[in-house]
Chain A
Amino acid sequence: MNARVGVYVCECGNNISDQVDIAALVPMLEGAPGVVKVMSHRLLCSKEGQEFLAEEVRKEGLTHLVVAACSPRQHLPTFMEVCKRGGLNPYLMQMANIREQCAWVTSDRHEATEKAARMIRAAIARVVRQAPLPEREVEANPDVIIIGGGLSGTVTASMLAGPERRVHVVDRNPALAVALTSLKGVETHGGCEVEAVRGFFGNFEVELASKGSRQEVRVGAMVVCTGSRAMTLQEMGYPGSEAPHVVVLPQDPESLRPYLDALPSGQPKVMFVHCAGRERVGYCSGVCCLRSFKAMRWMAETAPNAQLSCLHQDICVPGRDGEREYQGILGIGARMTWGRLTALAQQGPQVTVSFRREDGSIGQDAADLVILVPATVPNHGARALIDIIGVEAGPAGFVEEAHPMLEPVSTSVKGIYVAGSASGPRDGRATSLLSLAAAAQIAAELRPGKTLRLEAQTSQVCEALCTGCRNCMTVCTYGAIEYDLVAQTCRVNETICRGCGNCVAACPSEAISVKGATYQQILQEIKEAVR
């Protein structure tokens, strides 16, 4: 069938027509290959303009459409909808941005008109080489697997489980909390680890292994709730940290009781040392100052005769409660010293604490009990899990969010979410909020009974050109490319591909292209623009 291209030029009120001579422009476009109609309109995005355009597509039996108007950023969705209403596949429409890229930035009217004509001819050359792309959908499994049965796993599970959605919770620990095992709609897999993951958002197959047995679970989404832990004395690596009166601050200060009982009578000196392990990990955990202050307050109440001191670096207590707690600690007379811990040494009944001040000088102090406030690090096994499921991790080994601000519970893999302190050190409130957020995001994106819409403009591999070098696989952040061992070529899984085009740039053989933006389409477009 011969192409019947319609070209519609929007005047955008006077925004385009002030600078582009529409009357001169229209005849410049007539007669371009395939073009059957060229027309201008005062404002194509208006309700009346949209109806007119949809009617034109139908009436003229157009096979392709060029809309010369504003930026596609503003109105691409508008005109794609118009195509649908007119019965034309929306990928057979091309916009030429003759407002922002021409009328608004070209001072000479004659030049602007000439430039607009070139831009529109380029769009025509491209659109006739475009193919219709189908809107694709896939059935999705609403069930969810949560990896980790701690606070974040429990909160996420309790929000998601329901009559229409089954939730699996996996934990390496065989004994899972009653709060979890008693939840309706939750199936727990204690003592299990994730061995392998196949599939994609909506349809994952997760292989679980426990001692001697294997099991496969089918779900639509996964949540990483592996949490974090305190750095150990060995990992911190301070000289002398094996001294008997040196202890890492436990989650619950009550666990310090045996140490208090062992303190000498009189006025024993208890020293809290902040930022233990910070230099090694390279970041501030952000939650420890407040935790330390709360423990110091507990200590002041439990052992009122103890002399409290605190070796700290910059105090980090953002938010409404932190500063009050800080002032409270200053109020109970704790001695505060700024310094970086360098070494510990048991000397007789006391521990000598060496530190470096901000000006570089060395200081020393001694205490009967030294409590190290530890850096927070990813939990044991998190690294291995991250590798198995293929999400990106940051330098510290925490799961990296898809976007640090806007997508705080999504990961680099669509359908795998992260909650709690698996993505960074968090306090209890932040852990719960992140878990609620992850649950809400999944509930919205994976709705029981709803299909998932897939990207229409995916990559495709031309097998005849593919040499099987697999460069594309290394740059694909979605894991959408597979290597066919038999054919020795790469293949795109179009259910996963999101059409970013990374693989196109990486392919040395020009074997890959993104549908709707092929080499031919772009080349012809450029040729026409610079002819």
Chain B
Amino acid sequence: MTRNGDILIIGAGIGGIQASHLLSKAGHQVHLVEKTAHIGGTSIKFEDVFPNLECATCMLSPLEQELLQDPNVHLLTLTEVAGLEGGPGDFTVRLRQRARYVNLENCIGCGACYDACPVSAINEFEEGLSQRKAICIPCAGTLPNVPRIDKEVCIRFKGQECVACQQACMFEAVEYGQEDRDIELKVGAVLVAVGSGTMDVRELPHLSYGVHPGVFTSLELERLNASNGPTEGKIQLRDGRAPNRVALVHCVGRRERTLCSGVCCRYLLKFRHYLRHKLPCAEVLEFHGDLCLPNKGDQRFLGEMAPDGEGLVRAEVVRIEVEGDYLKVIHRRDGREAIETVDMVVLSPALTPPKGATELARTLGVALADDGFFVVNGVASSRPGILILGGASGPKDIRETVVEALAAAGGACKAVMEGEDGK
């Protein structure tokens, strides 16, 4: 029998993108499946990336653009895997694609429809820091530069006769008649590149997240600093004031999850760079435990951001109390409790297994470990022909994710070929 050389990749973050490029170069047809309406994953939320403070958008968008123009890559957005049967070289995969209600070929991404839309909803991509329309892209620069209609909030899908977006479109791209569809594909191997999640810091009520508006998560700060974000790069409190004294809290959830996420020390140092640049007068205090800075350039960067240990407080944050507009960071240092008063707190939550990992593992028939991450041996899952890369099998930085993406892409080629030898 002939073996199928096509590869299914689940997740179009940096791992899925780099694996797609490699497999395309190697001559394979790639079906790249993405749950959301856009590609780029978590990395596109960052303004700069470690270790050289390179502009993340400038680094990623050429790769994304190339992907969209690659005839070997078949991108399926708004799509999830519903079922999988077979084995290496001969899988049958069932996909469910939700309707975008915008024609991908006709739309040029001019954005005329957003202005026309009367609906306003919370923008999840911006960590809830801004509003979006029912027809929208998550933020400027996301690709493909084609909006989608969010059926959950669009008033037309709630029975009203609104055609505002369709009328605003000059290219007849808005198609209310589109329907969700089921797709069946034959592939030789499957790559899982769904990334990780972050811990919900509300699980740790003593840190006052959601209680006081001055407490932020790290992803919220990333978006506040992003030039394409909700404040166009202004780091500010939820009421628009600039913070004067900022506490960066390391290792949030580390003990609860028995896990050092390995990326937080580095991005918190990067935040110091953001803050120094945007708010030169603000004082920054970093409450940290063991600093995990093993990569090239990390120690040098620590020296630049915290010369002579400036702003570093080796202490465990016991709790954060609200005092009017201010926040009291109660911390234990050398066995004694002390207090620092600040007006902004940034928490660095532990990385967790990706949302929906349990269902996905069941659908694919692969094993999850006790901690909820995918079980791997290298990049191999518990089922032949299915490979796991990046944050799905434990916290990873971009570099580690890309290494695993390349390794998994190689493994997929091999899985397809070995299936051939076996028959």
The answer to whether B296 and A318 have CB atoms under 8 Å apart is: no
Most chain A CB within 10 A, of B105, B292, B373, is at: B292
Chain A residues near B59 (CB-CB < 8 A):
405-406
Chain A residues near B106 (CB-CB < 8 A):
46
Q: Between A and B, how many residue pairs show CB distances below 8 Å?
A: 151
Separation of A39 and B247 alpha carbons in the complex (Å): 60
Across the interface, A13 reaches (CB within 8 A) one of B18, B170, B394, namely B170
Chain A residues near B406 (CB-CB < 8 A):
408-409, 436-438, 440-441
Q: Write out, one digit per residue, whether chain A residues 386-410 have a CB within 8 A of any chain B CB (1) or not (0).
A: 0000000010101000001110110
Cβ of B129 < 8 Å from any Cβ of A?
A: no
Cβ of B135 < 8 Å from any Cβ of A?
A: no
For window 12-35 of A, CB contacts with B under 8 Å fall at 12-15
Nearest-neighbor residue (CB-CB) of B407 within chain A:
A436
Cβ of B260 < 8 Å from any Cβ of A?
A: yes
Chain A residues near B26 (CB-CB < 8 A):
440, 443-444, 447
The answer to whether A318 and B261 have CB atoms under 8 Å apart is: yes
The answer to whether A316 and B292 have CB atoms under 8 Å apart is: yes
The answer to whether B410 and A12 have CB atoms under 8 Å apart is: no
Separation of A15 and B170 alpha carbons in the complex (Å): 10
Cβ of B404 < 8 Å from any Cβ of A?
A: yes
Q: A436-B379, A437-B406 are in contact. Are A445 and B110 (CB under 8 A)?
A: no
For window 374-419 of B, CB contacts with A under 8 Å fall at 378-379, 394-395, 397-400, 402-407, 409-411, 413-414
The answer to whether A315 and B373 have CB atoms under 8 Å apart is: no
Separation of A450 and B399 alpha carbons in the complex (Å): 29
The answer to whether B63 and A406 have CB atoms under 8 Å apart is: yes
Across the interface, B260 reaches (CB within 8 A) one of A73, A322, A432, A434, namely A322
Q: A320-B259, A409-B403 are in contact. Are A283 and B65 (CB under 8 A)?
A: no
Q: Write out, one digit per residue, whether chain B residues 136-174 have a CB within 8 A of any chain A CB (1) or not (0).
A: 000000000000000000000000000000000011000
Chain A residues near B379 (CB-CB < 8 A):
433, 436
Cβ of A47 < 8 Å from any Cβ of B?
A: yes
The answer to whether B18 and A432 have CB atoms under 8 Å apart is: no
The answer to whether A406 and B402 have CB atoms under 8 Å apart is: yes
Chain A residues near B227 (CB-CB < 8 A):
none
Nearest-neighbor residue (CB-CB) of B62 within chain A:
A73
Q: Write out, one digit per residue, whether chain B residues 157-199 have a CB within 8 A of any chain A CB (1) or not (0).
A: 0000000000000110000000000000000000000000000
Chain A residues near B414 (CB-CB < 8 A):
159
B: which residues have CB within 8 A of A? 18, 22-23, 25-27, 49, 51-52, 59, 62-63, 65, 69, 105-106, 108, 110, 112, 170-171, 254, 258-263, 290-300, 314, 369, 371, 373, 378-379, 394-395, 397-400, 402-407, 409-411, 413-414
CB-CB nearest 6 A-B residue pairs: A286-B294, A318-B262, A440-B410, A437-B406, A436-B407, A444-B26
A: which residues have CB within 8 A of B? 12-15, 43, 45-47, 73-74, 77-78, 159, 282-287, 314-320, 322-324, 327, 358, 394, 396, 398, 404-406, 408-409, 424-425, 429-430, 432-434, 436-441, 443-445, 447
